[in-house]
Amino acid sequence: MNTAEGLEEWDIEIKPKNKLFDLQFKEVWHYRDLMWLFVKRDFIAQFKQTILGPLWHLVQPILTTIMFLLVFGKIAKIPTDGIAPAAFYMSGLTIWGYFASCFTGTSSTFTSNAGIFGKVYFPRIVTPISIILSNLVKFAIQFILLIAILLYYHFNGYPIQISLNLLFLPAILIIIAGISLGLGIIFSSLTTKYRDFTVLLGFAIQLLMYATPVIYPLSYLKGKSYKWIIDLNPLSSLVEAYRYCIFGKGLVEPYSLFYSVVFMLVSVSLGYVIFNRVEKTFMDTV
């Protein structure tokens, strides 16, 4: 406090958000330490009081891959574009798992953190961003498993072809993270008033996986009348591009990737606007 002039000086001043689209990058960066604490909390909380701990990140995709090999590989006999079936399914599961975890995690931002939000101030957007970052750890663990499978098949008839396309993997991850963040904070804003969306989300994630080329390549849909529905899914081109970066095989169209980027920008922008509006009054409805 300035005693000479009788004016108080504050280190931090909290003001209401008057703008519809207020990014506040500087404020988010100021709370980066809190963000990393949330990342650590989210990762540790998943395996607290469990026997296998982080190994569950490996058990789940392994069991799911075995089921896919039996149902879609042996029974349905869906082709895998010349890619080793186990590697094909595992690659789809790693990238899909990242999206699904980020989407479901961010969609419960307000309801899961109401206790913290009601007690202390910090930029609320820090919480969903921390979920996006913490799920990168899960993705990294599963990606290591994918590399192990690729090395096994490298010596068993499916040689690895390393190319510069691998450099585009971070860009694909960023786009998927942006889509999951945008859609997630939209759903989180809606669930503050309408809890039905929480139940709907579980069904939507399951159905969306089958509308995404996780268990089949896009080339399998050539000539089929319903292919346009799959093309409308912004994740379709991203999953296919993800496989193309790893295996060098896939049906990747530039306009489809452009569509996915535009969808990501729109969803993040719209989600942030809705998120900011709900943030002001959500404590009255949660």
Query: Per residue, what are the HEC states of 259-281?
Result: HHHHHHHHHHHHHHHHHHHHHCC
Highest mean pLDDT among 17-31, 116-130, 195-209, 220-234: 220-234
Distance CA 71, CA 65 (A): 10
Q: Which pLDDT does position 51 carry in this prediction?
A: 61
pLDDT at 257 over 90: yes
- Least confident range of 82-96, 103-117, 141-155: 103-117
Cβ burial of 259 (10 Å; 0-12, 13-18, 19+) is: middle
Q: CB–CB of 124/275 below 8 Å?
A: yes
Distance CA 210, CA 92 (A): 11
Mean pLDDT computed over 132-138: 90
pLDDT digits (tens, 9 = 90+) for 24-52: 677 777 878 888 888 888 777 766 656 66
Q: Which pLDDT does position 26 carry in this prediction?
A: 76
Mean pLDDT computed over 165-183: 93
Mean pLDDT computed over 197-215: 86
Distance CA 154, CA 164 (A): 18
Q: Which pLDDT does position 199 carry in this prediction?
A: 75
Residue 184: partners with Cβ closer than 8 Å, 6 or more residues away: 102, 103, 104, 105, 106, 107, 109, 128, 131, 271
Mean pLDDT computed over 119-130: 83
pLDDT digits (tens, 9 = 90+) for 48-102: 656 666 677 788 889 999 999 999 988 888 988 888 999 999 999 999 999 999 9
Please give the backbone phi and psi of residue 57, each rounded to the nearest 5 degrees, phi first: -65, -20
Give the mean pLDDT of the chain. Answer: 83
pTM of the shown model = 0.85
pLDDT at 243 over 70: yes
Residue 3 banded pLDDT, cuts 50, 70, 90: very low
Q: Which pLDDT does position 170 carry in this prediction?
A: 93
Q: Which pLDDT does position 156 carry in this prediction?
A: 82
Q: CB–CB of 212/233 below 8 Å?
A: yes
Distance CA 154, CA 131 (A): 34
What's the number of CA atoms in the CB half-sphere (13 Å) around residue 62?
10
Mean pLDDT computed over 178-193: 88
Secondary structure, 3-state, 147-208: HHHHHHHHCCCCCCCCCHHHHHHHHHHHHHHHHHHHHHHHHHHHHCCCCHHHHHHHHHHHHH
Q: Which pLDDT does position 9 carry in this prediction?
A: 65
Closest residue by Cα to residue 100 from 51, 72, 63, 142: 142
CA distances from 239 to 68, 108, 218 (A): 17, 25, 10
Q: CB–CB of 149/135 below 8 Å?
A: no
